[in-house]
Amino acid sequence: MATLIIDRFDGKKHYERSYSLADEDISGKTLLNTLLLIKQTQDPTLNFTASCRCAICGACGVRINGHAVLACDTKMDELFATYGADILRVSPLANFTVISDLAVDWEPSIDNLRKIHPGLAAKSEFSPQDGCRQTQEEFDRIKKQWDCILCGCCASECNKLTADRSDYMEPFVFTHAWRAAHDSRSKDPLLHGKPAVAGGLWNCVHCQECANRCPKGISSADDIAGLRAMVMAKGMTEGEGPAHARSFYTDLVEGSGRLNEVRLALRTEGVSTLARTGMAITLLRRGKMNPLEVFGGETIEGHDALVKMIEAAHASEKE
């Protein structure tokens, strides 16, 4: 026998309920099929969302043992093999408001998606008669981001949203902003870039969990990095985020190749950095920061090669 412990919510209280299942009933089945089996044979009150059953619509995102998955694209046999136990916990996606059991509220996320204008605002050169055409190469540049099915797995795993979602939009929102901004038919990339900045573009904590858990292999972390580069190239260089990025670039390319943490803080936040003098003293005492590094340090081995790699990356972006 196998056991699924499902986190439930009836609109007022959170609780859990266990369901026992015969091995032969779930062998070879997906998690979604198993949830349907429980609803049909054990508990008709269990609520969850699903539609296409073939990893296209994204409606059936849930968490298994704390990790986001698509229920229709996840085999029970693989889950038991992965976790090495015959008991699994099924929970609603994290970083969403739970409506009922495994069903969550998507309205705030859809509102964020609207903010970055995910639709096409075409260049004036395109006419209604000819349509908005692009080459295969131009389409290939954005086709991966078109694979996003809005399942919410990236948002569920996002450590920034878990810590504080008041100043940060969901990772998939930035993916769609990147796609729209880099569409060759779009009239103005900043139509999507500006609201992305306002929505916390520079607040990503680089945990890479969005990339790790996306069922379509999309890296919202890469899209966020690409959006940052784009908005800076378009002149949006004010604020701590761009200053932080410029400081990294200065140290790596124009400096010794070593990150100078003393100058990094000063360049990023200016004199307001002095407000954290106590933290700096603690770092100094524990050998985590060398004050002499403010004057520079020895150039790292292979610095020339590092500079060439960065210059080559810049060149490829312009092509």
Of 68, 103, 138, which closes a domain? 103
Domain range holding 244? 240-318
Q: At what angle do helices 190-198 and 220-233 cross, to 10 degrees?
A: 110
Question: In the chain, helix, strand, coil percent, each to 5?
Answer: 50, 10, 40
Instruction: Provide the pLDDT for residue 213.
Output: 94
CB atoms within 10 A of CB 127: 9
Does 226 lie in the same domain as 119?
A: yes
Instruction: Provide the pLDDT for residue 267.
Output: 61
Residue 207 host element (H or E): none
Q: Which spans in 7-70 are helix H?
A: 23-26, 31-41
Does 176 lie in the same domain as 87?
A: no
Sign of CA dihedral 236, 221, 171, 218: positive
Does 115 lie in the same domain as 72?
A: no
**CA 147-151-157 angle, 5° bins:** 110
Does 153 lie in the same domain as 135?
A: yes
Strand pairing class (61-64; 98-100): unpaired
Of 233, 255, 279, which closes a domain? 233
Q: How many domains does the chain have?
A: 3
Q: By three-state DSSP, how is residue 90 classified?
A: strand
Does 186 lie in the same domain as 112?
A: yes
Does 205 lie in the same domain as 166?
A: yes
List the pLDDT tens digit at each of the 319 positions of the chain: 899 999 999 999 999 999 999 999 999 999 999 999 999 999 999 999 999 999 999 999 999 999 999 999 999 999 999 998 889 999 999 999 999 999 999 999 999 999 999 998 888 888 777 788 899 999 999 999 999 999 999 999 999 999 999 999 999 999 999 999 999 999 999 999 999 999 999 999 999 999 999 999 999 999 999 999 999 999 998 888 888 777 766 766 677 777 666 666 666 666 555 556 666 677 677 776 666 655 556 777 887 888 888 788 777 766 5
Does 120 lie in the same domain as 85?
A: no
Residue 155 has phi, psi (to 5 degrees) of -65, -35
Of 83, 103, 123, which closes a domain? 103
Domain CATH for 85: 3.10.20.30
Single out the residue of 108, 134, 106 nearest to residue 120, CA to CA: 134
Does 148 lie in the same domain as 95?
A: no
Residue 252: DSSP 8-state: I
Instruction: Provide the pLDDT for residue 84.
Output: 87
Residue 103 has phi, psi (to 5 degrees) of -95, 130
Does 152 lie in the same domain as 227?
A: yes
Does 128 lie in the same domain as 65?
A: no
User: Are the C-beta atoms of residues 221 and 210 closer than 8 Å to each other?
Assistant: yes
Does 184 lie in the same domain as 74?
A: no
Does 111 lie in the same domain as 95?
A: no
CB atoms within 10 A of CB 249: 12
Which position has the token pair 């043992």?
65
Instruction: Provide the pLDDT for residue 239.
Output: 82
Domain CATH for 122: 1.10.1060.10
Burial 153-184 (b: 16+ CB within 10 A, else e): bbbbbbebbeeebeebbbbbbbbbbbbbbbbe
